[in-house]
Amino acid sequence: MLKLDDCTISSGDFLLRADLEIEAGSSIAIIGPSGAGKSTLLETIAGFRDLKGGQIFWKGKNLTTLPPGKRPLAMLFQDGNLFPHLSAAQNVALGLRPNGGLSQDEHQHVQSALVRVGLPDLGARKPAELSGGQQSRVALARILVQKRQVLLLDEPFAALGPALKAEMLDLVASLVAESGTTLLMVSHDPQDALRITRQTVLVADQIAHPPVSTAQLFENPPPALRDYLG
Amino acid sequence: MAGHTQPINPLPGVSAAVLVAALILGTLFMVALRAEAGGGFGPADWSALRFTLLQATLSALLSAGLAIPVARALARRRFPGRRALIALLGAPFILPVIVAILGLLHVFGRAGWVSEALGILGLPPIQIYGLHGVVLAHVFFNLPLATRLILQGWQEIPAERFRLAAQLGCEGLAMFRLIELPMLRRILPGVLAVIFAICLTSFAVALTLGGGPRATTIELAIYQAFTYDFDLGRAALLSALQLVLTATAALAALRFSQGEGFGTGLNRAIRRWDGGTPVLDAFWIIAAAAFLLLPLASVTISGIAGLFEMPALVFRAAVISIFVAAASTVVLLLLALPMATAIATGRYGIVELGGLLGLAASPLVIGTGLFILIRPLANPTTLALPVTALVNAIMALPFALRILVPAARDTLERHGRLALSLNMNNWSFFLRVMLPRLRPQIGFSAGLTAALSMGDLGVIALFADAQIATLPLQIYRLMGAYQMQAAAGGALLLLILSMGVFWILDRGGRWHVEA
Amino acid sequence: MKHLAIAAGILTATSAVAADKPELTVYTYDSFVSDWGPGPKVKEAFEAECDCTLNLVGVEDGAALLSRVRLEGENTEADIVLGLDTNLISAAKETGLFGPHSITADYALPVEWTDTVFVPYDWGYFAFVHNADAPAPTSFRELADGDAKIIIQDPRSSTPGLGLLLWVKASYGDDAPSIWADLADNIVTVTKGWSEAYGLFLEGEADMVLSYTTSPAYHLIAEEDASKAAAPFDEGHYMQVEVAAKLANTDQPELADQFLNFMVSDAFQTIIPTTNWMYPAVTPSSGLPEGFETLITPQKALLFDQDKAAAAREQALAEWLGTLSQ
């Protein structure tokens, strides 16, 4: 269980409170108006921002003061998910060994992750030589080898076409289902949320609300969400 | 900035800065400690201060101001020989002062090419000696550096930004305001501060081109205090004044150069869609090339005959110079890389200040201070070469930082979060992300340092004995022995070697890197 | 770095070999030790007769040389300092670092030499050097009234520059500032040192350059080029006498005396004219090299007494700065 215990995030005029719990293994969409703090919430959970108050627990363990890399979670950003000077395979390998070389087995592991995301032959290419969809697949292959218990997606597929984005989301859904990973994904599009998540955290009016059923939320949206959906 | 945690340990960088500051301030302190009855500031010192500030300010403004259109023209034009031209433009910066003066005057002097051309048209020769001559010479030295630094700023703007601006239909002034002005705001203060600091310590150039004692700089007063008056207290006081002036300029630059980076880009080759005015760009490129290359051509022409008259000793000196340059470059990188990454975190601007002090420190003060320091421990003469290499590295440090810091900052901004989320440790981030991403900048700054070290007389004159001499020292010795022609040959050899190491290192950094 | 260590090692190695023999350390100016200066030949000649190692250490110039010795004080490595000139003698004596000598020689100097601490080894006259085919003024007055262009050195950073200052002062006394005021429009520029000035003159930047009466001898003898001449001035010419002395604290007093004796002997003095391009302090038995007879001989030799030189320098420098800074 991921627990945000009376958390306060603030910087300048910005303020967001979160006091909620998320079941391990669940898939959660984070939805809300632009600027409400969806990305900020993920960055805070990932450890890129300090809390003003409150604490974050994963399965009873206090994460609040851990540096990002020591937290049991992986994150994909809106952009910059790959190092441009490294090949696809080298980028994936970083998920396995961020600080050293790979053993023979681990090379195998990287290769099978590339195969799993549908890029068996493109390991030697640099990101600039890959299409947008292929770049996303490399990033997902790295997530795969990272084997973290929580996956945070900050709209990494926003730049992709609808069909491609749906394809990526399905790939994510199948990957998290295989491994039992807990998924938190920011989304602008209710269709994305409905596609792979059951529950939704609404971020609006300076509060990250506890998760509710995605389907129910859209059937009977609260005023803040109604304004956003238009 | 990428949040609060960063994949960089600033400790090595801060330590390097402390080391450099300790060396500069420590040597100054050692000199002050040896002061006997010292004289204070006289009216002559105040007028030297006024002239120093005036010429340094004008030189910095003019060098940077002229470099903007030149760099802009070079950034958006592609023509055969562009790379070679950019490399050659670096040459004035690395020439020994005396050679550069002779080259400049060969073109702009009373009997120079320009005056001769004017004579054919029945016009009087140009009057080069005066404040304008000092500024002209300093622009000659510093325009190439300013151009390279600003050009680098242009090349670090991701191609995506130009694409976006082109898509928005931006051209000319609008493109300039949208993309280029913010870049210049970020780069220019540092460029101005560096050139200002270089010109503060000008001595022989200012005096010779200034035409007389009106063009007295603080550095001349320091020299006089050291040699003819042996007034170490005054020397230390004047040197401290130089340091304060440079520190002020550096702090001002740091304050004004804060600005956002350009965010993520994916290494696409820069292509620009705004046409600009090719004629104007051509004008700037040709004018700058003529201004910078004509004096080099004169150095080359007068050196060719001398090349065959040089005694073998000159070649021996050349080999020694190459070793000194190599050692300087290694020391420089060991200092500059940790410092640049520490500065990139945005929290250690003071580290950059430490680096800039190297420019303001009078070589005489550093050399003498080191001499006093070393003497109780070892014979300073046997340490002449390592000390020269160290001092040359410290003198080159401010340039290297100006080159490395913007790229280090961008690398941290673009990749810091990802590295953190992957749990990369500081060392891995440095080795696997920072170094590869900075390769072009490392090549450029290593090339500059090697070339600078090769051409700099530095402190070797204070330490050297008969058996060991670097190429610049040997050139001075040839001139002192009336052997002007052989000296000109030595200068040409130096020019070739300096340009050679610069080209190899700079090109090596860019190999296989598109930008 | 490794190679640097090797290079440094070569140096240490040479001094290690030397440790077997007594070693005499002579501080001098850089152009003396340069491969084109007297240094290498002097070392060879002295070592041939002393069964010792002569260690020549070069420092930028005469003024820097004295600073170096003052910086090192009584612990200096130097046994002998060679290369100060008459203008520096009083400052050097004030340090109390130098000891008396017992040298007697038949000096060929135009002035009498009685100093008990410093021994002269060469001398020359300052003069303006010009192209022989061009007319040259015959006095400062004529130079100042004409439009010939000159390049001079800065008295604050160069020995010849200081020599010119004292030359004008010795010739005109209190009228020196008015001469400088009239010379102002003749001066193309003022350089840091001799090399810059002479280089610019050879490039054609000026009609004349401040140098020595012996400069044309270099062109004549080394380059077989008779195109340079020194202009004789009616006021007379200021002299530069270059001297050496032993340190009072030297640990090689006998060897130091032996060197000073060697210095005024034929072996040393024959080396000087065509390496340092100055007149030898003692004319060698073989006479001056062929070519030196073509040089001008000033009617009058000017030289301030060493105790007056310091005061004259201070006053002349203030006048010079005051006049030319306007």
Contact between chains at B479 and C195 (C-beta distance less than 8 A): yes
Give B320's contacts in chain C (Cβ within 8 Å): 7
Select the residue from A42, A94, A131 to test the B interface by mutation, using most B Cβ atoms within 10 A.
Answer: A94
Does residue C206 belong to any structural domain of this protein?
yes
Per-residue pLDDT at A100 exceeds 80: no
The model's pLDDT over A119-141, given as tens digits with 9 standing for 90+, comes to: 999 999 999 899 988 999 999 99
Write down the pLDDT at residue A137: 92
Specify the range with the lowest mean pLDDT, choosing from A108-122, B187-201, B288-302, B466-480.
B466-480
Question: What percent of chain B is modeled with pLDDT above 70?
Answer: 89
B427 touches chain C (CB under 8 A): no
Contact between chains at B5 and A128 (C-beta distance less than 8 A): no
Mean pLDDT of A17-31: 92
As a whole number, the mean pLDDT across chain B is 83
The model's pLDDT over B9-26, given as tens digits with 9 standing for 90+, comes to: 888 888 888 888 888 888
Distance in Å, alpha carbon of A86 to nearest chain B alpha carbon: 9
Q: Which chains pack against A, by 3+ Cβ pairs within 8 A?
A: B
Give C37's contacts in chain B (Cβ within 8 Å): 477, 480-481
B170 pLDDT band (50/70/90 cuts)?
Answer: low
Considering only residues 484 to 503 of chain B, which have any Cβ-Cβ distance to chain C shorter than 8 Å? 484, 487
Distance in Å, alpha carbon of C267 to nearest chain B alpha carbon: 21
Per-residue pLDDT at B66 exceeds 90: yes
A43 touches chain B (CB under 8 A): yes
Say how far apart CA B84 and CA B86 lie, in whole Å. Answer: 5
A43, A48, A79 ranked by CB distance to B264: nearest:
A79
Per-residue pLDDT at A91 exceeds 50: yes
Does residue C3 belong to any structural domain of this protein?
no
Q: Which residue has the higher pLDDT, A189 or C140?
A: C140
C16 pLDDT band (50/70/90 cuts)?
Answer: very low
B467 pLDDT band (50/70/90 cuts)?
Answer: low
Select the residue from C10, C29, C30 to test the B interface by mutation, using most B Cβ atoms within 10 A.
Answer: C30
Question: What percent of chain C is modeled with pLDDT above 70?
Answer: 94
Say how far apart CA B454 and CA B475 lie, in whole Å. Answer: 12
Write down the pLDDT at residue B273: 53
Per-residue pLDDT at C17 exceeds 70: no
Interface size, chain B vs chain C, as Cβ–Cβ contacts under 8 Å: 183
Buried/exposed code over B97-133 (b: 16+ C-beta within 10 A; e: otherwise): bbbbbbbbbbbbbbbbeebeeeeeeeeebbebbbbeb
The three-state secondary structure class of C126 is strand
C316 and C301 housed in the same domain: yes
Nearest to C29 by CA among B383, B375, B461: B461
Chain B: residue whose CA lies nearest to A98: B424
Mean pLDDT of B490-505: 88
Distance in Å, alpha carbon of B384 to nearest chain C alpha carbon: 8
Write down the pLDDT at residue B461: 66
The three-state secondary structure class of C4 is helix
In one letter, which amino acid is B330? V
Does residue C102 belong to any structural domain of this protein?
yes
Nearest to A208 by CA among A42, A23, A26: A42
Select the residue from B6, B262, B264, B418 to test the A interface by mutation, using most A Cβ atoms within 10 A.
Answer: B418
Per-residue pLDDT at B265 exceeds 60: no
Say how far apart CA B357 and CA A66 lie, in whole Å. Answer: 38
Per-residue pLDDT at B166 exceeds 80: no
Write down the pLDDT at residue B228: 81
User: How many of the other CB atoms lie within 10 Å of CB of B513?
Assistant: 13
The model's pLDDT over C52-84, given as tens digits with 9 standing for 90+, comes to: 999 998 888 888 899 889 988 888 889 999 999
Q: Where are the domains of chain B?
A: 11-35+49-262+275-510
C280 and C254 housed in the same domain: yes
Contact between chains at B385 and C198 (C-beta distance less than 8 A): no
Considering only residues 67 to 96 of chain C, which have any Cβ-Cβ distance to chain B shorter than 8 Å? 67, 70-72, 77, 91
Contact between chains at C56 and B466 (C-beta distance less than 8 A): yes
Distance in Å, alpha carbon of B221 to nearest chain C alpha carbon: 8
The model's pLDDT over C230-241, given as tens digits with 9 standing for 90+, comes to: 999 999 999 999
Q: Which residue has the higher pLDDT, B450 or A218?
A: B450
Write down the pLDDT at residue A142: 92
Write down the pLDDT at residue C3: 44
Write down the pLDDT at residue B266: 46
Write down the pLDDT at residue B37: 61
Per-residue pLDDT at C188 exceeds 50: yes
Mean pLDDT of A99-106: 84
**Chains C and A, touching by 3 or more CB pairs within 8 angstroms:** no
The model's pLDDT over C119-142, given as tens digits with 9 standing for 90+, comes to: 999 999 999 999 999 999 999 999
A197 touches chain B (CB under 8 A): no
Chain B: residue whose CA lies nearest to A65: B5
C248 and C103 housed in the same domain: yes
User: How many of the other CB atoms lie within 10 Å of CB of B405?
Assistant: 23
Write down the pLDDT at residue B68: 92
Say how far apart CA C243 and CA C254 lie, in whole Å. Answer: 19
In one letter, which amino acid is A155? E
Specify the range with the lowest mean pLDDT, choosing from B371-375, B430-434, B458-462.
B458-462
Chain A: residue whose CA lies nearest to B428: A99
Mean pLDDT of A53-74: 89
Write down the pLDDT at residue B276: 60
Domain of C270, CATH number, reads 3.40.190.10
Considering only residues 143 to 202 of chain B, which have any Cβ-Cβ distance to chain C shorter than 8 Å? none
Select the residue from B270, B421, B442 to test the A interface by mutation, using most A Cβ atoms within 10 A.
Answer: B421
Nearest to C216 by CA among B488, B102, B482, B489: B482
B371 pLDDT band (50/70/90 cuts)?
Answer: confident
Give C4's contacts in chain B (Cβ within 8 Å): 323-324, 327, 385-386, 389
Contact between chains at B320 and C7 (C-beta distance less than 8 A): yes
Per-residue pLDDT at C4 exceeds 50: no
C156 and C142 housed in the same domain: yes
A176 and A67 housed in the same domain: yes
Say how far apart CA B58 and CA B131 lie, in whole Å. Answer: 10
Chain C: residue whose CA lies nearest to B474: C34
C73 and C211 housed in the same domain: no
Contact between chains at A81 and B436 (C-beta distance less than 8 A): no
Write down the pLDDT at residue A211: 92
Give B412's contacts in chain A (Cβ within 8 Å): none
Write down the pLDDT at residue B343: 87
C300 pLDDT band (50/70/90 cuts)?
Answer: very high
Number of domains in chain C: 2
A15 and A125 housed in the same domain: no
Containing structural domain, residue C224? 125-239+297-324
B7 pLDDT band (50/70/90 cuts)?
Answer: confident
Write down the pLDDT at residue A161: 86
C136 and C253 housed in the same domain: no
Number of domains in chain A: 2
Distance in Å, alpha carbon of C239 to nearest chain B alpha carbon: 19
Containing structural domain, residue A90? 84-146
What are the start-end ranges of the H helices in C117-214? 140-145, 159-172, 176-183, 194-202
Per-residue pLDDT at C161 exceeds 90: yes
Write down the pLDDT at residue C100: 95
B458 pLDDT band (50/70/90 cuts)?
Answer: low
A129 and A161 housed in the same domain: no
Contact B314, B471 (CB under 8 A): yes
Give C204's contacts in chain B (Cβ within 8 Å): 109-111
C43 pLDDT band (50/70/90 cuts)?
Answer: very high
The model's pLDDT over B177-220, given as tens digits with 9 standing for 90+, comes to: 777 888 888 889 888 988 998 898 888 888 888 888 888 888 88
A20 and A55 housed in the same domain: yes
Mean pLDDT of C85-102: 91
Give B462's contacts in chain C (Cβ within 8 Å): 59-60, 64
A141 touches chain B (CB under 8 A): no
Q: Which chains pack against C, by 3+ Cβ pairs within 8 A?
A: B
Nearest to B451 by CA among B497, B385, B390, B402: B497
C111 and C252 housed in the same domain: yes
Buried/exposed code over C148-175 (b: 16+ C-beta within 10 A; e: otherwise): bbbbbbbbbbbbbbbbbbbbbbbbbeee
Give A49's contacts in chain B (Cβ within 8 Å): 3-4
Q: Single out the residue in A112, A128, A146 at which a domain terminates.
A: A146
A9 and A104 housed in the same domain: no
Contact between chains at B371 and C71 (C-beta distance less than 8 A): yes
User: How many of the other CB atoms lie within 10 Å of CB of C261?
Assistant: 16
Chain A: residue whose CA lies nearest to B411: A83
A68 and A111 housed in the same domain: no
- DSSP assignments along B138-191, one per residue: HHHHHHHHHHHHHHHHHHTS-HHHHHHHHHTT--HHHHIIIIIHHHHHHHHHHH
In one letter, which amino acid is A104? Q
A180 and A111 housed in the same domain: no
Mean pLDDT of A68-77: 87
Contact between chains at C34 and B311 (C-beta distance less than 8 A): no
Tell me the C-alpha to C-alpha distance, in Å, between residue A52 and each of A7, A14, A20, A44, A65.
7, 12, 16, 10, 12
Is the pTM higher than 0.90?
no
C49 and C164 housed in the same domain: no
Q: Which CATH class is domain B11-35+49-262+275-510?
A: mainly alpha
Q: Which residue has the higher pLDDT, B222 or B42?
A: B222
Say how far apart CA B259 and CA B328 lie, in whole Å. Answer: 32
